Amino acid sequence: MTRSISILGATGSVGEQTLDLIGRERDKWRIEALTANCSAEKLARMALDFGAKIAVVGDEACLPELREALSGSGIEAAGGSAALIEAASRPVDVTVAAIVGCAGLGPVMAAIEQGGTIALANKEALVSAGDVMMAAVAKHGATLLPVDSEHNAIFQCLAGSKLSDVARITLTASGGPFRTWTQDQLDAATPEQAVAHPNWDMGAKISVDSATMMNKGLEYIEAHYLFPVGLDRLGIVVHPQSVIHSMVEFRDRSTLAQLGPSDMRVPIASCLAWPQRMDTPMAPLDLPSIGELSFFAPDETRFPATRLARQAIEAGGAAPASLNAANEVAVAAFLAGQIGFTRIAAMVEETMSNYTAHTPRSLEDVLATDQAARIAAHQLLELT
């Protein structure tokens, strides 16, 4: 049976790997919409290759190039935020939500409102709008499947179990490229070093988040919304080999762990095939060659991001959205060479300390909170 799919953020890492999997079983899939921020030429190639009905760029300035590349193909080309929302609103069996950052929030909510299955790879959307998003999922009868390897691992470990039987959920973290670095080395870290993740192939923003451990902090907040067992039953452990992707301990003290290669095609395949399974091109896990699995407690002195995320979700209200917005501004500034590596977490903490907002009750509230926190973070940049 052919299934329909839209991929929001098709030219990014998750989007490319999703298309790689679909390309191996083309007869089983029909592409409705592919979107990108710009990357018009690349998006057009993907749309032509997979026969998408529509290709959309978020940046309208890139639309003329997209239209020219798709001229005569019969594939619709569109641009702008309204076009992204329209594409995400199209009824399909599966929507892969892989737009990086809070820019993906509107399209994700539009996909939820059409009531299908959403494979969520955009952690920032759930972090910023957790209560609003989960309420929309319930209201519209949507199915939310986590693509993040850690949450996908938890989802798999919980299959057939009740949250009331869970004693503890543990997210694993690789520790990033700077796990063993001294404070002086961290102070001098460059963007090139930060994006060189030892285990995973990810985009620049997510790679920097992994280096600061903010990625794990955001995932901690996500886990709170996806698996509401209580913050006292959520934990993080550093696992440098990235073989165990998360663990669930039950009240009888049995612990289930999901193991797999460090390749996003594994959790993506889990979502695409759910509730079944599908083949992937990954080699079987070879534990003897790995040799050992090690675990460490997070160092929140050198990497304070997980502490900040925990404080944000404990505070609730607008705090998670403010944390996420400030982090996006700080990471962009680091990648642009405006601030040092350790300044990222400091900027996030200062923004959270200096800015407060009312609890968001709607998508519009979340977007307003996000914008105000970005303004506050940019004001800090001007003082740097």
Are the CB atoms for 3 and 93 separated by under 8 Å? yes
Average model confidence (pLDDT) across the chain = 95
pTM for the structure as a whole: 0.92
pLDDT of residue 347: 96
Question: Over 90: is that where the pLDDT of 200 sits?
Answer: no
Beta strands in the chain, from DSSP E residues, in sequence order: 3-8, 29-36, 54-57, 76-79, 94-97, 117-120, 143-146, 166-173, 234-238, 244-250, 255-259
Task: Place 259 in a pLDDT band, splitting at 50, 70 and 90.
Answer: very high
8 vs 95: CA distance, rounded Å: 7
Exposed / middle / buried, residue 63 (Cβ in 10 Å: 0-12, 13-18, 19+): buried
The torsion angles phi and psi of 345, rounded to 5 degrees, stand at -65, -35
Give residues with Cβ within 8 angstroms of 88, minimum separation 6. 6, 8, 33, 35, 95, 97, 106, 107, 108, 110, 111, 114
Per cent of the chain over pLDDT 90 is 91
Question: Over 90: is that where the pLDDT of 333 sits?
Answer: yes
pLDDT of residue 359: 87
Contacts 24+ apart (CB under 8 A), 374-377: 374/325, 374/326, 374/328, 374/329, 376/322, 376/326, 376/351, 377/325, 377/326, 377/329, 377/330, 377/347, 377/348, 377/351
pLDDT in tens, 210-229: 999 999 999 999 999 999 99
pLDDT of residue 127: 94
Question: Over 70: is that where the pLDDT of 201 sits?
Answer: no
pLDDT of residue 293: 97
Question: Over 90: is that where the pLDDT of 284 sits?
Answer: yes
pLDDT in tens, 343-369: 999 999 999 988 777 888 999 999 999
Question: Over 70: is that where the pLDDT of 85 sits?
Answer: yes
Could you tell me how many residues make up the chain?
384
For helices 363-383 and 343-354, angle between their N-to-C axes, nearest 10 degrees: 120
For tokens 């994700």, the residue is 108
Question: Over 80: is that where the pLDDT of 12 sits?
Answer: yes
Task: Place 1 in a pLDDT band, splitting at 50, 70 and 90.
Answer: confident
Task: Place 32 in a pLDDT band, splitting at 50, 70 and 90.
Answer: very high
pLDDT of residue 7: 98
pLDDT in tens, 90-128: 999 999 999 988 889 999 999 999 999 999 998 888 999
* Strand pairing report for 244-250 and 166-173: antiparallel
**Residue 68, number of CB atoms within 10 A of its CB:** 12
Rounded mean pLDDT, 243-251: 98
Put residue 202 in one of left, alpha, beta given phi > 0 → left and psi -120 to 50 → alpha: beta
Question: Over 80: is that where the pLDDT of 142 sits?
Answer: yes
